[in-house]
Amino acid sequence: MSRSEAVTRILFEAFPAAEVRLFYVLGLAACAAFAYGVYVQVRKYRRGAPAALAGGMWPRLGWMIARVLDHRTVERRDPAAGGAHRLIFYGFTLLFIGTATITLQYDILEPLFGVRFWYGRFYLVFSLVLDLAGVALIAGLLYMMVRRGWLKPPKLDYARPDRSPGDPDFDRPQYRREDWAFLWLLLIIGATGYVLEAARLVWLQGRADVWDTRWWSPVGALLAAALRGVGLGPAGGGALRHGLWWFHGLIALGFIALIPYTKVKHVFTAMGSLMVRDPLAAQRLAPIPESQAAPGVAAITDFTWKQLLNLDACTRCGRCHEACPARAVGAPLSPRDVILSLREFAHATLESGTLPAAAELNVHGKSPGQVAQETLWSCRTCMACVEICPVAVEHVPIIVQLRRKLVEDGAMDPLLAKTLATIHKTGNSFGESRRRRGAWTKALPFPVKDARREPVDVLWFVGDYASFDPRNQKVTQTFAALLAEAGVDFGILYDGESNAGNDVRRVGEEGLYEVLADANVAALGSATFNRVVTTDPHSYNTIRNEYPDFGGRYPIEHYTTLLERLFAAGRLKVTQPLRYRVTFHDPCHLGRFNQGYEAPRQLLALLGCELVEMGRCRSNSFCCGAGGGRIWIPDPAGGEKPAQNRIKEAAAIPGLQVYAVSCPKDLTMFEDALKTTGNEGKFVVREIIELVREALPLAAPAGAHA
Q: Could you read off the pLDDT of 652-676 as tens digits, one per residue?
A: 999 999 999 999 999 999 999 999 9
Q: Give the pLDDT confidence of 13-22 residue by residue, as tens digits.
A: 999 999 999 9
pLDDT-flagged residues of the chain (< 70): 1-4, 698-706
By CB neighbour count within 10 A (0-12 exposed, 13-18 middle, 19+ buried), where does 112 fall? exposed
By CB neighbour count within 10 A (0-12 exposed, 13-18 middle, 19+ buried), where does 76 fall? middle
Helical spans, DSSP H, in 107-233: 110-113, 120-146, 173-203, 208-211, 218-229
Distance from the Cα of residue 96 to its chain's centroid: 29
Phi/psi at 371 (5° precision)? -115, 130
Q: What is the DSSP string of 577-615?
A: ----EEEE---TTTTTTT---HHHHHHHHHTT-EE---S
Q: Give the pLDDT confidence of 438-463 residue by residue, as tens digits.
A: 999 999 999 999 999 999 999 999 99
Alpha-carbon torsion 296, 297, 303, 308, what sign?
positive
Instruction: Give the count of beta carbons closer than 10 Å to the beta carbon of residue 701.
Output: 8
Phi/psi at 17 (5° precision)? -60, -35
The residues, any chain, with a CB within 8 Å of residue 29's CB and separated by 6 or more, are 253, 257
Domains of the chain (ranges; CATH) run 57-158+169-271 (no CATH), 276-411 (1.10.1060), 427-566 (no CATH), 567-695 (3.40.50)
Reported as type and span, the H/E element at residue 349 is: helix 335-350
Q: Give the integer Cα–Cα distance in Å for 336 and 324.
A: 10
Instruction: Give the count of beta carbons closer than 10 Å to the beta carbon of residue 220.
Output: 25
For residue 169, CA distances in Å to 162, 164, 172, 425, 445 come to 10, 9, 5, 43, 63
At 698 the pLDDT is 55
- The β-bridge relationship of strands 531-534 and 490-492 is unpaired
Q: Give the integer Cα–Cα distance in Å for 192 and 203.
A: 16
Contact indicator for 537, 590 with CB cutoff of 8 Å: yes
Instruction: Give the count of beta carbons closer than 10 Å to the beta carbon of residue 606.
Output: 18
The residues, any chain, with a CB within 8 Å of residue 408's CB and separated by 6 or more, are 294, 295, 296
Helical spans, DSSP H, in 204-281: 208-211, 218-229, 234-258, 266-275
For residue 445, CA distances in Å to 462, 478, 559, 682 come to 19, 12, 21, 34
Q: Give the integer Cα–Cα distance in Å for 136 and 124.
A: 19
At 704 the pLDDT is 40
Buried b (16+ CB within 10 A) or exposed e, 10-41: eeeeebeeeeeeebeebbeebeebbeebeebb
For residue 392, CA distances in Å to 324, 342, 395, 666 come to 16, 16, 9, 28
Q: Give the pLDDT confidence of 294-312 residue by residue, as tens digits.
A: 999 999 999 999 999 999 9
Q: Give the integer Cα–Cα distance in Å for 540 and 591.
A: 11
The residues, any chain, with a CB within 8 Å of residue 167's CB and separated by 6 or more, are none
At 255 the pLDDT is 96
At 703 the pLDDT is 41
Considering only CA atoms, which of 95, 104, 103 is closest in space to residue 126? 95
At 4 the pLDDT is 64
Q: Give the integer Cα–Cα distance in Å for 47 and 45.
A: 5
Reported as type and span, the H/E element at residue 531 is: strand 531-534
Residue type, 101: T
Q: Report, in angstroms and rounded to the nearest whole number, the Rg of the chain calculated over CA atoms.
A: 31
The residues, any chain, with a CB within 8 Å of residue 80's CB and separated by 6 or more, are 143, 147
Q: Give the integer Cα–Cα distance in Å for 389 and 398.
A: 14
Q: Give the integer Cα–Cα distance in Å for 287 and 373.
A: 22
**Residue by residue, what is the 3-state secondary structure of 289-328?**
CCCCCCCCCCEHHHCEHHHHHHHHHCCCCCHHHHHCHHHH
Q: Give the integer Cα–Cα distance in Å for 495 and 519.
A: 11
At 90 the pLDDT is 97
For residue 106, CA distances in Å to 115, 196, 297 come to 9, 20, 51
Buried b (16+ CB within 10 A) or exposed e, 499-535: bbbbbbbbbbbbebbbbbbbbbbebbeebebeebbbb
Q: Give the integer Cα–Cα distance in Å for 190 and 91.
A: 10
Q: Give the integer Cα–Cα distance in Å for 429 and 422.
A: 6
